[in-house]
Amino acid sequence: MSTTGNRRTDLVRALNLLPYFSAHPGRSIFEAARDLGREPKELMADLDRLFCCGRPGMFPDDLVDMRKDYRRVEILNDQGLDKALRLTPSEAVALLMSLESLENVPGIADSEAVRSAAAKLRAHTGRSARGVADATPQDTGADADGLLRDLRGAVAARRKVTFTYASLSSDTSRRRTVSPAHLFSHEGHTYLRALDGGEERTFRLDRMDDLEVTDEPAESGAAALDADAPFDFGPGCTAELELRESIAWLADTVPLELGEPADGWIPGRLDAGSREWLARFVLSHGDRLRVTGPPELVDFVAARRAAALAAYDDRQ
């Protein structure tokens, strides 16, 4: 059983002690152990766990309170956890809206459990939910579920995969062969982190098409996934820039450190994931943004600018 499964089972077992001791005030740990088929020390451990359970807020007044020793257990405040939760209409609707948002996210641990819980809530809320939450789950289709299942299998079997990918950053669509390393969800989308030509990249699943799992062993060497920063591959390059004061707002959207303005230009430093991304970013802002260092980045961006202008010349 997984660690998460063990913790869930432990919590349910501990919570079941609240209605038991509420119905049998003053009963000893030994009597309860006999009734419940448990060891006395296990019951004491579960009761200790209950001191950390309670209502949202988790202040002392929100937590379960009791008096206990091996001779006697008395529940002083069960915080309403001794019976099944009864939701008000507004609470049920809020929970339903959260579940409906999860229904549209491929890759969650147990999608069937989410759909089942949402369906039960819809049946019980009935008309009270109309006009407040009237969303129906988006059908992600068998293709999305199959794609995720195949990728999970490829990660587990350490096999390379090939697929057609529509890249938003480069505005291109091409066939790729990569070594899958991790799958993760972020802000409603599911991503694959993989080694592509020796470099770590991320691919959004809804931009993949025609996935095939190959028999070729996957490359190793992918870094461990940081759940707090799943897109952090480390600094690719650091550029020295100058930008017009009219686009100083860029510092709110990218990791750009700004200096003091001078003659209408603001000096800055930018950590970029790659030279390619940096060139696209700089060129997209035309003459309002320029790279001033280091020399190799200045030359790289200049070459990209020249290639872009040459493409226009070829069309004429």
The CATH number that applies at residue 211 is: 2.30.30
The total number of structural domains in the chain stands at 4
Q: Looking at the domain assignment, is residue 83 inside a domain?
A: no
The answer to whether residues 254 and 308 belong to one domain is yes
Q: Looking at the domain assignment, is residue 223 inside a domain?
A: no
Give per-residue pLDDT as tens, 7-64: 777 888 888 898 899 899 899 999 999 999 999 999 999 999 888 888 877 777 888 8
Neighbour tally for 121: CB within 10 Å: 19
Tell me, what CATH number does 12's domain have? 1.10.10
pLDDT over 50 at 291, yes or no: yes
Token reading at 309: 């202008």
**Rounded to an integer, what distance in angstroms lies between the CA atom of residue 305 and that of residue 308?**
5
The answer to whether residues 295 and 244 belong to one domain is yes
The strand ranges marked E within the chain are 65-68, 73-77, 159-167, 172-186, 189-196, 199-204, 208-217, 237-244, 256-258, 265-272, 289-293
pLDDT over 50 at 250, yes or no: yes
Q: Looking at the domain assignment, is residue 64 inside a domain?
A: yes
Domain encompassing residue 288: 237-315
Q: Looking at the domain assignment, is residue 307 inside a domain?
A: yes
Give per-residue pLDDT as tens, 89-135: 777 778 887 777 776 665 555 667 777 888 887 777 765 555 444 44
